[in-house]
Amino acid sequence: MVSPEAKKLAEERAARMQAALDLKEPDRVPFTGLGGDVIPAYAGITSYEYEFDFEKNRQAAVKWFTDFPSDSAPRVGLGGLDNQSMGVAFQDYPEIVSGVNSVNGPMNDVLKMKFVRFPGRELDENSARQFIGGKNMEPEEYDQLIADPVKFCFEVIMPRISGGLKDLGSPASLATMARFGLEKARQDAEMAKTMQALMELGYYFAPRGVCLAPLDLISDQLRDIPNLILDLRRYPDKVKAAAEALVEPMVKMGTMSIKAGAKECFIPLHLNEYLSPKQYNEFYWPTLKEVILKLVEAGMKVQVFFEGWHDAHLETILELPAGWGTAYFEKTDVRKAKKLLQGHTCIMGGIDVSDIISLTPAQLDENIKKLFDEMAPGGGFIFSPNIGTCPRETPIENVRAVYEAVEKYGKY
């Protein structure tokens, strides 16, 4: 049962985040909270248990989010690894997409993806899961990708990346899909329990869409980054055409969850930091911008995670309509971003996870005080670690210092 108090708390938290998204000043600086491998470590369980056992995962999450309360619906459940090319392959079947788009441990036992490794399987029980990537497509295949990205991802790429589906139409692949369905049903039921447990603690859950910048889909999942970088010089026209061909599939992936109530779509960027402004504006931004504009047109807010240094491309954000969504920064200084984007874009980020590991509680306290002094006025700011995951060894006294500082200095 979700108590009236928990319900009220959830509403307050949601309103706080929403105010920031609407570029206003909430009652307090909204805080996404910390997470990652430190959660199982804090609960005294292995990363393997946390990534494979829903019951233990749930208990660990409840302990963490009770002791360290934050404002956003936390990323709970088993952690997954990005598998969007397979999402594209099944884009006309949303119920399948939500299971293949990001592959978690037990699901990988079924699909046997080539580019992932999990704790307690290929890795030590306390390792973090790994996406190891790799090249799954040759340059001669750009034409096929351009002609029909969905067909290409299904017929050519999927058999290369999924051990369970390497022989399309074989008994083994049909059995894989049947097992996938059973596992998906089990996971959906388990996730409902986890969400219920967190709602009882006063958290809210809003589904959200996820998609990639078209060029990132090619570099992350198909060609790999160094090859794509060389392709930009060797086959510029093909790369451009391929990115254009992927705009529609990416919009479809992003808007798919609107039916389930999603109001926001998340897009993590990877290649941005690698490219010169000239390359960014020629190969990357036009198709990314088109995807964002179409998501906004469909009524969504968009949260873009500008990974790495985004300084060289910062001004292009102003080409989007004011209120389009949130710019989440990793290395780019949020203060610098605020100077440019205040009143136009909600800004998210502010603390480097390396600092949470390496500094003292007193230093963290001071840094956060200074940060809020500069970032809070005017609103439109969400406080968040610069990357999603704190490792197992993160000192708990430092975690505590971060939450206490948010409590102390976050009031408007």
Partner 1 sequence: MLMQKELLKSFVDMDEAEAVRIARELVETEGGAVAVLDTCKEAMEEVGRLFEAGEYFLSELIAAGDMFNQIMEFTLPKLQGGEVASIGTMVLGTVLGDVHNIGKDIFKVMAEASGINVIDIGIDVPHEKFVEAIKEHKPEIVGMSCLITLGVDSMKRTIEVIEEAGLRDDIKIIIGGGRVSQAVMEHVGADAWADDAARGVRLSKELLG
Contacting positions for partner 1 (CB under 8 A): 36-37, 127-128, 130, 132, 225-226, 229-230, 232-234, 273-276, 279, 308, 312, 331, 352-355, 357-359, 387, 389-394
Beta carbon of residue 226, minimum distance to partner 1 (angstroms, whole number)? 5
Residues 209 and 302: their CA atoms lie apart, in Å, by 9
Taking the complex as a whole, the smallest distance from the CB of residue 308 to partner 1 amounts, in Å, to: 7
Residue 162 CB, nearest distance to partner 1 (Å)? Answer: 20
The item of partner 1, ligand B12, none sharing an interface with residue 229, based on CB under 5 to 8 Å by kind, is partner 1
Give the Cα separation of 337 and 311 in Å (integer): 8
Among partner 1, ligand B12, none, the one that 321 touches (CB under a kind-dependent 5 to 8 A) is none
281 or 389, CB closer to ligand B12? 389
Contacting positions for ligand B12 (CB under 6 A): 81, 128-133, 220, 225, 270, 273, 307-308, 330, 387-389
Round to whole Å and give the CA distance between 113 and 83.
Answer: 9
Question: Closest approach of Cβ 312 to partner 1, in Å?
Answer: 7
In three-state secondary structure terms, 227 is helix
**85/255 with CB nearer ligand B12:** 85
Nearer to partner 1, 101 or 127 (CB): 127
- Of the two residues 287 and 332, which places its CB atom closer to ligand B12 in the complex? 332
Q: How far is the CB of 92 from ligand B12 (least distance, A)?
A: 27
| Neighbour tally for 61: CB within 10 Å | 24
Which residue's CB is nearer to ligand B12, number 160 or number 179? 160
CB 113 within 8 A of CB 83: yes
CB of 194 to partner 1, least distance (A): 24
Q: Distance (Å, rounded) from C-alpha 290 to C-alpha 183?
A: 35
**45 touches which of ligand B12, partner 1, none (CB within 5 to 8 A by kind)?**
none
Among residues 83 and 255, whose Cβ is nearest to ligand B12?
83
Do residues 75 and 193 lie in contact, with contact meaning Cβ atoms separated by under 8 Å? no
Residue 230's binding partner, choosing from partner 1, ligand B12, none, with beta-carbon cut-off 5 to 8 A by kind? partner 1
Report the SS3 class of residue 359.
coil
* Number of residues in the chain: 412
Nearest partner of 346 among 297, 296, 382, 371, judged by Cα: 382
Which string of DSSP letters, residue by residue, matches 361-386? HHHHHHHHHHHHHHHSTTS-EEEEES
**Residue 163 site contact among partner 1, ligand B12, none (CB < 5 to 8 Å, cut-off depends on kind):** none
**Pick from partner 1, ligand B12, none: which does 129 bind, CB < 5 to 8 A by kind?**
ligand B12
> Is the CB of residue 65 less than 8 Å from the CB of residue 75?
no
Q: Is 198 left (phi over 0), alpha (psi -120 to 50) or beta?
A: alpha
Q: For the CB of residue 311, give the shortest distance to ligand B12 in the complex, in Å.
A: 12
Nearer to ligand B12, 203 or 328 (CB): 328
SS3 76: coil
- Select 123 or 258, whichever has its Cβ closest to partner 1: 123
Select from partner 1, ligand B12, none the partner in contact with residue 270, using the beta carbon and a kind-dependent cut-off of 5 to 8 Å: ligand B12
Q: Assess contact for 250 and 211: CB atoms under 8 A.
A: yes
Tokens of 388: 């999603």
When the beta carbons of 257 and 398 are compared against partner 1, the nearer one is 398
Task: Select 226 or 261, whichever has its Cβ closest to partner 1.
Answer: 226
Give residue 161's identity as a one-letter amino acid code.
Answer: I
Structural contact between residues 267 and 211, judged by C-beta atoms closer than 8 angstroms: yes
For residues 183 and 69, is the Cβ–Cβ distance under 8 A? Answer: no
| Least separation in angstroms between CB 316 and ligand B12 | 17
Token pair in block for residue 66: 């009770």
| Interaction partner, residue 258 (partner 1, ligand B12, none; CB < 5-8 Å by kind) | none
| Binding partner at 264 among partner 1, ligand B12, none, C-beta below 5 to 8 Å by kind | none
Q: Exposed/middle/buried for 248, CB within 10 Å: 0-12, 13-18, 19+?
A: middle
Question: Helix 361-375 to helix 396-409 angle, to the nearest 10 degrees?
Answer: 30
Which element (helix H / strand E) includes 19?
helix 4-21
Of these partners, partner 1, ligand B12, none, which one is at the site of residue 357 (CB under 5 to 8 Å by kind)? partner 1
Cβ 387 to ligand B12 shortest distance, Å = 4
Q: How far is the CB of 60 from ligand B12 (least distance, A)?
A: 18
